[in-house]
Amino acid sequence: MVQVQESLTPQVITVETTINGKAIQADIPSHRTLLDFVRNDLNLKGAKLSCDVQVCGACTVLLDGKPVSACTTLAHEAQGRVVETIEGLADGHKLHPIQQAFIDHGALECGFCTPGMILTVKAMLEEIPNPTIGDIKWYMKGNICRCTGYKKIVEAILAAAAELSNDQKVAG
Amino acid sequence: MIGQSISRQDALEKVTGRAQYAGDLSIGNVCHAKFLEVRLFALALTPERVWKALKDQPRAQTRAIATSSAEV
């Protein structure tokens, strides 16, 4: 019984991680979610709390480049890893091509799902640079838009993919 | 303008995560309230019974309960 009580006592873990390119060291209670950590401790409010059960995608951040639901990821899981939130995507005033495509194609309404959507798109385009509409629907299924503006989101993703592969041709 | 698409005025804030929603506001020094359903018949509503029902839901420190307007 004593063992159970000990395991229920929150422990503080010193976590070293990189968030939006910045090295961060913090003492974090072991049960603190990555979402609480970025929103409340680091004041990065772009990732949203919505369903809190890894269904809606509003809290999506990138962990080593892969989309994760920050609501169901513990902050200490970011130990030694690279976290990217929507706030780190633009290069100063220069928007990332995915952000620009979302604006140009009107791929947002209330905008609540947008930060998570955009980060998932970034991960997808690194994995699948030229996705088909089927690829997009499959990869984006964990990001829900309650305004239901999916058609324009798909259009924006196709445009961003074309833009990014053009950039690569120029650079390459 | 006719026949041209224009982008939303708030699109930049929304794609950069700067747009503020109710859950993002932190103004401090505010009271928090939550509605709880108390399963009591209205005819039997007394401050003591409401207090007892709320006691089992330890979500906050209960300072006072105003039931007079609901009492028969």
Query: Is B15 within 8 Å of A99 when comparing Cβ atoms?
Result: yes
**Lowest mean pLDDT segment, chosen from A28-32, A70-74, A128-132, B26-30:** B26-30
Mean pLDDT to the nearest integer, A94-98: 98
Q: How far is the alpha carbon of A46 from chain B, nearest alpha carbon, in Å? A: 4
- Cβ contact, residue pair B17, A86, below 8 Å: yes
pLDDT of residue B43: 61
Best CA proximity match to A124, nearest among A168, A66, A64, A46? A66
pLDDT number for residue A152: 97
Contacts B14 to A, Cβ<8 Å: 108, 111, 114
pLDDT of residue A141: 97
Decide which of B30 and A161 is more confident: A161
What pLDDT does residue B61 have? 64
Helix (H) or strand (E) holding A14: strand A12-19
Judged against a pLDDT cut of 80, whether residue B60 lies above it is answered with no
Residue B58 has pLDDT above 60, yes or no: no
CB nearest to B16's CB, from A49, A99, A112: A99
Residue spans of alpha helices (H) in chain A = 2-8, 34-36, 97-104, 114-127, 133-139, 150-171
What pLDDT sits at residue A168? 80
Chain A residues with CB inside 8 Å of B8's CB? 103, 106, 108
Buried b (16+ CB within 10 A) or exposed e, B2-19: eeeeeeeeebbebbbbeb
Rounded to two decimals, the pTM is 0.81
Q: Which SS3 state, helix, strand or coil, does residue A147 take?
A: coil
Provide the CB-side half-sphere exposure for B27 (13 A, CA).
Answer: 8
Own/partner pairs for A40-46, CB < 8 Å, 24+ apart? A44/A19, A44/A20, A44/A85, A44/A87, A44/B17, A45/B17, A45/B20, A45/B24, A46/A85, A46/A86, A46/A87, A46/A115, A46/B16, A46/B17, A46/B18
Question: A42 pLDDT band (50/70/90 cuts)?
Answer: very high
What band does A1 get if pLDDT is binned at 50, 70 and 90?
very low
ipTM confidence: 0.90
> Looking at the partner chain, which of A39, A48, A86 has a beta carbon nearest the beta carbon of B16?
A86
pLDDT of residue B46: 74
Task: State how far the Cα of A35 lies from the Cα of A41, in Å rounded to an integer.
Answer: 10
Place A165 in a pLDDT band, splitting at 50, 70 and 90: very high
Query: What average pLDDT is seen over chain A?
Result: 94
Most confident of A5-9, A79-83, B21-25, B51-55: A79-83
Residue A23: strand pairing partners: A18
- A3: confidence class by pLDDT, cuts 50, 70, 90: low
In this structure, the strands spanning A22-29 and A12-19 are: antiparallel
pLDDT at A49 over 80: yes
